[in-house]
Amino acid sequence: MNHRRAWAVARKEFLHVLRDPRSLGMAVAIPMLLLMLYGYALTLDVDNVPTVVWDQSGTPSSRDFISQFAGSRYFSIAGYGWNYPELEREIDSGRALVALVVPRDFADDIRSGRPASVQMLVDGSDSNTATLAVAYADAVTRAYSQNLSVEELQRLGEPALRAPIDFRPRVWFNPELESRNYIIPGLIAVIMMVIAALLTSLTVAREWERGTMEQLISTPVTGRELILGKLLPYFVIGLVDVLMAMLLGEFLFRVPLRGSALLVLLSAGIFLVGTMALGILISVVAKNQLMANQMAMVLTFVPSFLLSGFVFPIANMPAVIRAITYLVPARYFIALLKAIYLKGVGINVLAGEGFLLVVFAASMILLAVGLFKKKLV
């Protein structure tokens, strides 16, 4: 391989990117825009669930019970209703996701020591939010019931009962359970895969459409030199994008980076090489910018978003789909980023994922070079 010829191709591609504001905007501005957009919009936290209340009892005991929900970070009292049709209208309109119905004999049941029933109506059209809302409501109710039991024992002069199990949960790596702490690292992987493949998927196809590929074929430039020259500019831009994304995560979204920043850049570099080589492979096969663009979106965005474990847990997928996820490189890169960001682990723990990324990058480069050689014949 002649490095001077490869550098000449890379210099030509650098100049093209700098002279074409659309390419430069796609390479730099779009990844940052997508990161900020998805970073703020995409969240799995369920807070301030709008709740409407029908308090049939209207007693201090029922108001005290309702205040437990109002004082919780998970519920927000959106209004009060006086019958079931009103509660139904609030839920149907979307103004409330939860309705609490406190029965008329609530206070009497508590004073007499009988179990007091409270009805909770939940909008199940969003199953994830409904499941979490029911779990939060159950926790609030259990805590309130336990406090009532302790107060009753104290009033009777009895010693407080001790729980047979002292359960003390402790959350590691993300103690506040903030979804952005693991969404932002995953977003970096998904966005970089899509943008990197899109950028390089147009390079060779553009040469064919503009008729400049014949000129390149007539030069001494080999397939390996051409692909290396095409990769180098976008690889540098990709690393700049990753660095900017890391800065946004640190200072804008306050996502802690507990591991090594150099390890993040190293794994990102390997991932970018493989993804950009995939883009060039698409460009070699398509020979058309529109077709290359569509193929890149299908082969990168859909798998990296749905089959990488970024949004949906891989363990919950059917066995056939779980087998397919092993072919998605974003799966390994997301695992690397989450482990480095949240756990602060090193290469000794992440060697397996790193090795698979190297295999992916090498495979894509070999395929791109091999198929491009065939196009030169």
- Say if residue 15 is in the same domain as residue 35: yes
pLDDT of residue 102: 93
Residue 350 inside a domain? The answer is: yes
Residues 243 and 367 in one domain: yes
E strand map for the chain: 49-55, 75-80, 98-102, 119-122
Please check whether residues 267 and 148 belong to one and the same domain: no
Tell me the torsion sign for CA atoms 59, 145, 88, 42: positive
Query: CA 12, CA 230: separation in Å to the nearest integer?
Result: 9
Return the amino acid letter for 192: M
Transcribe 267-309 into DSSP letters.
HHHHHHHHHHHHHHHHHHHH-SHHHHHHHHHHHHHHHHHHSSS
Which among 156, 189, 210 is the end of a domain? Answer: 156
The answer on 78 and 210 residing in a single domain is: no
Residue 359 near residue 222, CB atoms below 8 Å? no
253 shares its domain with 323:
yes
| Side-chain-facing half-sphere of 57: CA atoms under 13 Å | 23
Query: Residue 89 sits in a domain of what CATH number?
Result: 3.40.1710.10
Angle between helices 261-286 and 223-251 (to 10 degrees): 140
Tens-digit pLDDT profile for the chain (377 aa)?
A: 677 777 888 887 777 777 777 767 767 788 888 888 888 877 777 788 999 999 999 999 999 999 999 988 889 999 999 999 999 999 999 899 999 999 999 988 888 878 888 999 999 987 888 888 999 999 999 888 888 877 766 676 666 566 666 677 788 888 887 888 888 998 898 888 888 888 888 777 777 777 676 676 667 777 788 888 888 888 988 899 999 999 999 898 989 899 999 999 999 999 999 999 998 888 888 877 788 888 888 888 888 888 998 888 898 889 999 999 999 999 999 999 999 999 998 888 889 999 999 999 999 999 988 887 645 44
Asked, for residue 164, whether it belongs to a domain, the answer is: no
Global pTM reads 0.80
- 289 and 364 share one domain: yes
- Rg (C-alpha) for the chain, rounded Å, is 29
- Cβ–Cβ under 8 Å, residues 308 and 226: no
Distance in angstroms (rounded) separating the CA atoms of residues 234 and 230: 7
Residues 357 and 226 reside in one and the same domain: yes
How far, in Å, are 56, 59, 62, 110, 252 from residue 144 at the CA level? 19, 16, 11, 12, 38
Based on the domain organization, do 346 and 361 belong to the same domain?
A: yes
Place of tokens 């839920």: 91
Q: Report how far residue 369's alpha carbon sits from residue 280's, in angstroms, rounded to the nearest whole number.
A: 9
Q: How far apart are CA 163 and CA 160, in angstroms?
A: 10
Please tell me the predicted confidence (pLDDT) of residue 166: 65
Domain shared by 211 and 357, yes or no: yes
324: containing domain: 3-43+178-376
Q: Which of 160, 158, 148, 188 is nearest to 39 (CA)?
A: 188
Half-sphere exposure of 222 (CA within 13 A, CB side): 8
The whole-angstrom separation of Cα 175 and Cα 168 is 13
Same domain, 328 and 240: yes
- Asked whether residue 341 is domain-assigned, the answer is yes
Provide the domain count of the chain.
Answer: 2
What pLDDT does residue 159 have? 66
Q: What is the model's pLDDT at position 374?
A: 45
Q: Please tell me whether residues 200 and 248 are part of one structural domain.
A: yes
Whether residues 182 and 288 fall in one domain? yes
Residue 172 lies in a domain: no
Give dist(CA 308, CA 240) in Å, integer. 24
Tokens standing for residue 236: 């540098």
Question: For residue 343, how many C-alpha atoms fall within 13 Å in the half-sphere facing its CB?
Answer: 11
Q: Which of 155, 148, 149, 141 is nearest to 67 (CA)?
A: 141
